[in-house]
Structure 1
Amino acid sequence: MKTFFAFLVSLLLVQNAVAAQQSCNNLQPDLWVEAQYAINGSTIVIQNQRVHLIGLYAPQKERTYKFHTPGEPLAKQSQNHLNTLLANHDLKIGIVYDTTKMNKNRVQQAHAFFEDGTSLNAEMIRSGFAINRVQNDNVRYSKCYFAAEKEARDNNYQLWDQLKKNPQSHFPLVKSSEVYAEDQGFRIVQGEVKEVLKSSTYYLINFDTTGIRIPKKAWDKFDYAKLQALQGKIIEVRGYNYLYKGNMFMVVEHPYAFNVFNPLNNSN
């Protein structure tokens, strides 16, 4: 009986993943444009303006100006793969905007599609050269993007393969118990929730070494009772790690940052 139940659950997950991928297609975007080139694995240039692909975090190349920022694994390969995808479709893409058209740095945010309806954003994640990231409430195709990431992760594509072969890289995922000061930047942090608290300004979800902080302005998106129910469970949270007074913190503003709440895993 347990085996049959497990089979049904597995079948349902597969069907959900297929449906999620199909939900990504779009044959009638807001406008058609000609891309110029990719400057990294998540940003393209269109009409001499940068456009960030929604739902993506791609590894970043080394930066030496102002402050030195070490490069992340497969950064150049990620950029090359995005340029290859664009070239294979004659640089023509359809643009779809979401809730927030520009980020705080005045960079356009967009979903991009090829003429056959295929999502460029999803293809980058599915390839394993990028991972999913939720920003600015732009969640129109989130289920599709999470399904694409699951496929890449299950099959150890690219970033997931390099993590398997080089666990010390701590990218794109790091266990909270193994976090070092050098692990600042965008990460998926995995760990056991030790405590869930509430202050006047934050919901606080604490791992052993990393504190997840949900600011008050984002409380309306979260169910605090569900956050409390996470205590004692092993979960994953994605966002920017930053070091403050010797401790690692991460501020998140959307439930999809938690693997247990993302549209693939949340059955409620």
Structure 2
Amino acid sequence: MSRTQRAAAGRAPRAGALLRWATVLAALALAAAQAAAAAPACAPDRIDARVRVGYVFDGDTFEIEGGRRVRLIGVNTPELGRDGRPPEPLALAARERLIALIARAGRTVGLRFGREREDRYGRMLAHAFLPDGTDVAATLIREGLGFAIAVPPNLWGLECRIAAERAARARGLGVWRHRDFFGPLASARLHPDGGVRGFRIVEGRVVRIGRSRRSIWLNLEGRTALRVAREDLPLFRRAGIDPERLAGRRVRARGWIFPRHGELQMRVRHPSALAVLP
């Protein structure tokens, strides 16, 4: 130990400093307790499998030993760059945070499978929990490193993730500081050739309702259309939203947007992804 270190170690803290630190720690403890009481429980109701993680691809996808990929349910994190496109804002931060969470667990996580266990890419669909019960997806969302999403039928824990997102949005964390990229983006200002792709939040007035055999189409100002599949309509109507009665209303939607047939299209899967604005 150096002379400076010995001096510091032997120096007694002042009573005033101790009191200030005690006050700060008490305030932090109270805030944490209030937040925990206000937020819905994110603890798992069951664990279906315990697995070791071999590699993390991005903020919401990892590979387990044996080679299977797992896509986290209920969260969408910014995309890493591909096909010559740069990474989206905070994509690298989300991946690094997931790596750190998994490392904290000794690379072993518990999986709770969704009702739908596999996506169209062959990835396992599951919630991931650390040994202490920490919900990985909710943690990423609460820290502003991802968005809460709902893709039926995998809706377990949705209330918890929505609460986590509400907290991050209120504090302006992470993705909520990048509104110019993620949105809300005004539909009237979007163009199919404007380069807007991937997960976005869009808002605009519904100027026309379209109907096809399988879908209801909400055509917004500009060249943006929201698609609600007829198979999903009962979910919206139970939530008090009837997509067929939204002509003239302003709405805000979230989902993956892409160009098709000379317009931008987005499928809206769940009422939590469609807000009717005043």
Please give the TM-score of this superposition, normalised by the length of structure 1.
0.79
The equivalent position to 1:193 in structure 2, one of 197, 202, 206, is 206
In structure 1, the residue matched to 2:174 is 158
- Distance in 2 of aligned mates of 1:259 and 1:37: 36
1:81-125 deviations in whole A, cap 9, x for unaligned?
A: 111111223222211011100001110010011222221110011
In structure 2, the residue matched to 1:123 is 139
In structure 1, the residue matched to 2:157 is 141
CA contact (8 A) 2:226 2:268 kept: yes
- Distance in 2 of aligned mates of 1:158 and 1:139: 24
Structure 1: segments with no counterpart, 5+ residues: 1-16, 262-268
Aligned length: 237
In structure 1, the residue matched to 2:247 is 231
Secondary structure of the residue aligned to 1:135 is coil
How far has the Cα of 1:196 moved from its partner? 3.0
In structure 2, the residue matched to 1:246 is 262
Structure 2: segments with no counterpart, 5+ residues: 1-34
Secondary structure of the residue aligned to 1:259 is strand
1:212 lines up with 2:226 in the alignment: yes
How far has the Cα of 1:172 moved from its partner? 5.0
- Distance in 2 of aligned mates of 1:137 and 1:28: 18
The equivalent position to 2:54 in structure 1, one of 36, 43, 48, is 36
Structure with the bigger RCO (C-alpha within 8 Å, sep 6+) is 1
The alignment-based identity, stated in percent, is 30
CA contact (8 A) 1:237 1:258 kept: yes
How far has the Cα of 1:175 moved from its partner? 2.2
Please give the TM-score of this superposition, normalised by the length of structure 2.
0.76
CA contact (8 A) 1:44 1:51 kept: yes
- Distance in 2 of aligned mates of 1:154 and 1:232: 29
- Distance in 2 of aligned mates of 1:25 and 1:81: 20
- Distance in 2 of aligned mates of 1:202 and 1:28: 35
- Distance in 1 of aligned mates of 2:115 and 2:148: 17
Between structure 1 and structure 2, the one with the greater Rg is 2
Cα RMSD (Å)? 2.5
Distance 1:206 1:37, change over 3 A: same
1:63 lines up with 2:74 in the alignment: no
